Amino acid sequence: MELILEQMPIVIRALNVGFIQTLKLFFVTLIGAFPLGLVIAFGSMSSFKPLSYITKIFVWIIRGTPLMIQLLIIYYFPGLVLHTPIWGGGEGGRFLAAAVSFIVNYACYFSEIYRGGIQGVPVGQEEAGLVLGMTKTQIFFKITLLQMIKRIVPPMSNEIITLVKDTSLARIIALQEIIWAGQAFMKGSQGISGEIWPLFFTAVYYLIGNGILTLLLGRLEKKLDYFR
């Protein structure tokens, strides 16, 4: 016990650094996947059949294969198979590859949530807007959008909380996120080696992070409670 207390400050400092990388990946993924998901959703709902088919096949592939495999392929395929490493070396390159994989993967999940949200708004809402002389754009932004957001908050919350934990998959390409930081103390780092507790301790970070998120998302849901 005394030993752990002695190691604690060193471990916390290292885990904090890893957690910042985790958070970076989390936020970059959200910022990229929110709009990309909407684009994919409109693609799969397009009345232009070839576009809708291609989009649906793409979503099927991405949702049908493990994110870990996608990470490995996106990171290693250009360099090892095509002999044109596009990601650059070091942590920066790994982060870029991870961000691209996560954005594409999550955008596909988001697109299905968006689609459900948009199609869940009754047709009568659009028709009411049309007979009142509104344009399609006005109808989307003034009428449909908020009703859609209300519908998608609960399933979106689920995905967002899953994303926090999924960032740990980036460990597979050695991105120095929090799991990587915790594991380092098993092999030996900063005078600490053979210790497994720092790895276990990373769970606390996820738990706290998701606790805060759950509160925030619950608040948003409550805020949208004023209409039905």
- Minimum CB distance to another protein smaller for 69 or for 132: 132
The residue among 48 and 226 lying less far from another protein, judged by its C-beta, is 226
Nearer to another protein, 135 or 190 (CB): 135
Subset of residues 6 to 45 that bind another protein, contact rule: CB under 8 A: none
Q: Which of 31, 128, 212, 216 binds another protein (CB under 8 A)?
A: 128
| Helical packing angle, 2-45 and 90-120, nearest 10° | 50
119 binds another protein per the rule CB under 8 A: no
Among 9, 90, 133, 191, binds another protein (CB under 8 A): 133
Rounded CA separation 168/71 (Å) = 12
φ, ψ at 192 (rounded to 5°):
-115, 130
Tokens at 206, concatenated: 């996820």
2 vs 225, beta carbon nearer another protein: 225
Query: Taking CB under 8 A as the rule, does residue 225 contact another protein?
Result: no
Distance between CA atoms of residues 151 and 41, nearest Å: 15
Residue from 81, 131, 187, 191 touching another protein (CB under 8 A): that is 131
Query: What is the CB neighbour count within 10 angstroms for residue 55?
Result: 20
| 222 binds another protein, rule: CB under 8 A | no
Phi and psi for 189 in degrees, rounded to 5?
-160, 135
- Say whether residue 90 binds another protein (CB under 8 A): no
Interior angle at CA 26, CA 20 and CA 29, nearest 5: 135
Asked if 228 interacts with another protein (CB under 8 A), we say yes
Binding segment (CB under 8 A) for another protein, from list 15-23, 55-63, 103-111, 126-134: 126-134
Contacts 24+ apart (CB under 8 A), 38-43: 38/110, 38/111, 38/114, 39/107, 39/111, 40/107, 40/108, 40/110, 40/111, 41/110, 41/111, 41/112, 41/114, 41/115, 41/118, 43/111
Provide the β-strand partners of residue 192. Answer: 189
Residue 134 engages another protein in binding (rule: CB under 8 A): yes
> Shortest distance, CB of residue 39 to another protein, whole angstroms?
24
Site for another protein, rule CB under 8 A? 122, 124-125, 127-135, 138, 142-143, 146-147, 150, 226-228
